[in-house]
A and B are shown apart, each in its own frame.
Chain A
């Protein structure tokens, strides 16, 4: 007879709300007539995300003493809750962006077909989000893998949702193949770790390693390395980044925006918890491993971004380099590093999301991929989106126009605190290199001679439709990225409370 565990339903409420909303959206795909389907599904999705936000905030307030629930498979603590808050906020912004921009190049598809699968799209988005909110609370290797697959499969389909476009299908396929490779590595690594320790729970692994003196055991180290590789794929850190530029370029831009922000948050926050909780004895190994991965990401991401003309590819490489910065915080492995990582993710997610949203707007009015050339004059034509992009680019480059500046300061401080002054120098040089391509975007938007200007609205015939929801999403991202510069103390306090549920 199978023992039924006690289930703390409240600890799962965020996930349940999102899954529930996903079902409702899916039902809408069948029951709601086509003309109302988009509005219905988007509303349900938005409400689902708002509900998720409310429950995760509630969980944050109510989970001061972190503990495991549901037969020790899931963490109910502030680290989980704060990650869920960030994820739900990204989800809400994604819904705002997707409501008008899925399929991404709508006017290519006949009007009647545009709304065919819109409800499924939102259902998938919510399901992905539910998977991620589960992923960040995973407490053993089994739930970790299950939730990883849960949200990955959703993302594979979302990448290919623009099935009229070859690029979208290609992106979906590429992501599927490379992503499966990453998942397989993670699964295999988990098996090896289980083989070495006979345990799946994070805390039990640490205990077993401590009691049986397994530290440095070949099987364990190999397993750890493969788990790190699997997480590296999801966080798109070099050298596991090969899929990133192609997938980011091919996927519909709202999906790219969602992926670049949310997947990184989930993978990095879970990674930090996993390593701190399950492998504290191996810290001397994984801190170095992550320092290496961080340096590789900074070098590859920045150098490759320098030569990109396509904006989505450039932003993809920039996201690789920012993964490098955040991994510096992870590599420090200290409480300061954890706070730095948690803080950095907030402005980063906002800027990454916002910049892809701006690209989505330009893409739509041009009807083709956005490059540095056809961005000319965009800043003067669309003042709000231009200024927002200006803020995002300078913020990415670490100039004090937003929280990105403090984030960089924090991760570098964490690196120095760990005794790695050389990593500070690497980070500084990487920032300098990155300046060139971020400023390239500002230059393209504002400084081209007027002869080169392309008036997008005219090229596409007629003025662009009012995109209030997109503007709202960009405004939200802008507010978060600028606000995080001023609200450093509250965010750090939140991050400290969250990090206090991890063992240090």
Chain B
């Protein structure tokens, strides 16, 4: 086996494991263990890949290419750039945590559940490594299938409405992308993302962008977000906001900005306005939200806006910051949703008026939530601070007012995050918080501590990502050169 096939392995192993889980009549325990094992193996393979990755070289690494059907020049083409490597890492780490959480809480119908989680892992990794438009689209859609069922079967009381909204919204975007990619691919004569030349067509650009702004989401395309994040099981919400939303932002970087330089600069102001709107509006809604998951959900909307601001500022700092912030926010929101799940398991609710005073007698929970919250509100020195600082600096280079809007939103972030922390941990004890409710159990610690550990490492060395996402020191040149 060559090093290149690691990428394929990352995609195919979880999908194969999903089939195995569905076919083999394993017990609940064996199924969960197998899923956790496979997700940890994924992390292992990714670490091996990261260790072998040559960050000084531009162009695709670990790539593999086989013709899928030749008359339209569609191929199975996978590979990784430095920034996709980080996103793949985010995916495998978050999915391992989510699968571990599902195992810990003992989800009903384990074979179906773990199979779908593994399928989701494979599809999401596939999105970040696909280098063929049709393959990218296939994985982009394939993510929806397990998500739909995961929310619809294991979600809360209002799950049916939420799933319909989620799927119709995201499919509307995706199908426009399908139309756009057919037109683009047939015009270019190839569907390969590496070979395809840039295009000046605004319509095609808009078709792709629709899919990405709905998935990320940006204002005003976020209608599916609050319901879905509230109704999904916590680990699925965590994956949705931590990883899946990043697929939309990744698409902007990999396709929209790279392949459509002219339309991207034509619509730059429009998209920056949408991003800023998502940032401010999401922060305000997060401040107004009355429940744990509501705050995290709307803060994800705000953070998507911030990252899009960085990407579409089109500056070196903006690109570096955006990639760093994608990873940092992915880990933060993953951990926050898992803590939300942990709290809900103890109190049966996420409503702030029923919560409070959980810090007393639960030091581990308090410490972890404080640590994550503090990183999330971008205290200087944290990974999120580094990311947001870079993005704002990049936005400032575009025009000072974008940075001013962003800075206001960061103040808001501090407000809503502190409000969340005090509403859950401090204040008077809530009516649903009983003394018997335990502190974090070993299993929960085993999930959250590594996530926070990674965040602390990133806080100590943000340059690990921000200086290692694009070969060379100038991301704008890399984007203009289509990463070749």
Contact = CB atoms under 8 A, between A and B. Distances in A.
A416 B188 CA distance: 13
A436 B164 contact: yes
B134 interface: yes
B141 A400 contact: yes
A416 B186 contact: yes
A463 B72 CA distance: 50
B148 interface: yes
A412 interface: yes
Nearest to A448: B160
Given A413-B186, A416-B186, A421-B183, A447 B160 contact: yes
B168 A436 contact: yes
A339 interface: yes
Interface string A425-450: 10011011001100100110011000
Interface in B421-480: none
Secondary structure type dominating chain B contacts:
helix
Contacts of A413: 72, 182, 185-186
A492 interface: yes
Given A400-B138, A436-B168, A489-B68, A446 B149 contact: yes
Nearest to B140: A400
Given A428-B179, A439-B164, A489-B67, A399 B145 contact: yes
Given A432-B171, A432-B172, A443-B152, A399 B68 contact: no
**Which interface residue of B72, B141, B167, B182 has the most chain A CB atoms within 10 A?**
B182
Nearest to B109: A380
A424 B68 contact: no
Contacts of B152: 442-443, 446-447
Given A387-B22, A394-B145, A442-B149, A425 B72 contact: no
Interface string B330-353: 000000000000000000000000
A432 B168 contact: yes
Given A399-B141, A447-B153, A492 B71 contact: yes
Q: Is the interface of A mostly helix, strand, loop or mixed?
A: helix
Interface residues of A, number: 35
A489 B168 contact: no
Contact of A400 (B142, B148, B185): B142
B176 interface: yes
Interface in B104-151: 109, 134, 137-139, 141-142, 144-145, 148-149
B183 A416 contact: yes
A405 interface: yes
Interface residues of B, number: 37
A417 interface: yes
Nearest to A440: B164
**Which of A428, A431, A435, A443 has the most chain B CB atoms inside 10 A of its CB?**
A428
A496 interface: yes
A394 B138 CA distance: 13
A435 B176 CA distance: 14
Interface string A401-416: 1000110111011001
Nearest to B187: A416
Contacts of B68: 488-489
B41 interface: no
Nearest to B67: A489
A496 B69 CA distance: 12
Contacts of A443: 152, 160, 163
B178 interface: yes
B98 to A, nearest CB: 20
A443 B144 CA distance: 14
Interface in A264-285: none
B70 interface: yes
Contacts of A431: 171, 175
Given A417-B186, A446-B152, A435 B167 contact: yes
Contact of A412 (B109, B153, B171, B178): B178
Which has the most chain B C-beta neighbours within 10 Å: A401, A405, A406, A447?
Answer: A447
Interface in A458-497: 488-489, 492, 496
A409 B134 contact: yes
B110 to A, nearest CB: 13
Contacts of B164: 436, 439
B159 interface: yes
A401 B123 CA distance: 12
- Residue of B139, B164, B178, B185 most packed against chain A (CB within 10 A): B178
A399 B67 contact: no
A336 B148 CA distance: 34
A35 to B, nearest CB: 36
A278 B171 CA distance: 41
Interface in A316-335: none
Given A436-B168, A443-B160, A489-B70, A399 B178 contact: no
A19 to B, nearest CB: 37
B149 A412 contact: no
A447 B159 contact: yes
Contact of B179 (A405, A412, A439, A488): A412
A432 B183 CA distance: 18
A19 B167 CA distance: 49
A388 to B, nearest CB: 12
B242 to A, nearest CB: 23
B171 A489 contact: no
Contacts of B141: 399-400, 405
Interface string B293-320: 0000000000000000000000000000
Given A428-B175, A428-B178, A489-B70, A435 B183 contact: no
B149 A424 contact: no
A364 B163 CA distance: 31
Nearest to A427: B179
Nearest to A343: B69
Given A435-B167, A447-B159, A489-B68, A412 B182 contact: yes
Given A416-B183, A443-B160, A488-B68, A435 B168 contact: yes
10 contacts: A380-B109, A400-B141, A401-B142, A410-B72, A439-B164, A446-B149, A446-B153, A447-B149, A488-B68, A489-B68
Given A432-B172, A447-B153, 8 more contacts: A400-B138, A401-B142, A405-B138, A410-B72, A412-B179, A428-B176, A428-B178, A489-B70
Interface of B: 22, 67-72, 74, 109, 134, 137-139, 141-142, 144-145, 148-149, 152-153, 159-160, 163-164, 167-168, 171-172, 175-176, 178-179, 182-183, 185-186
Counting from the closest, the 5 A-B pairs by CB-CB distance are A400-B138, A488-B69, A447-B152, A428-B175, A489-B69
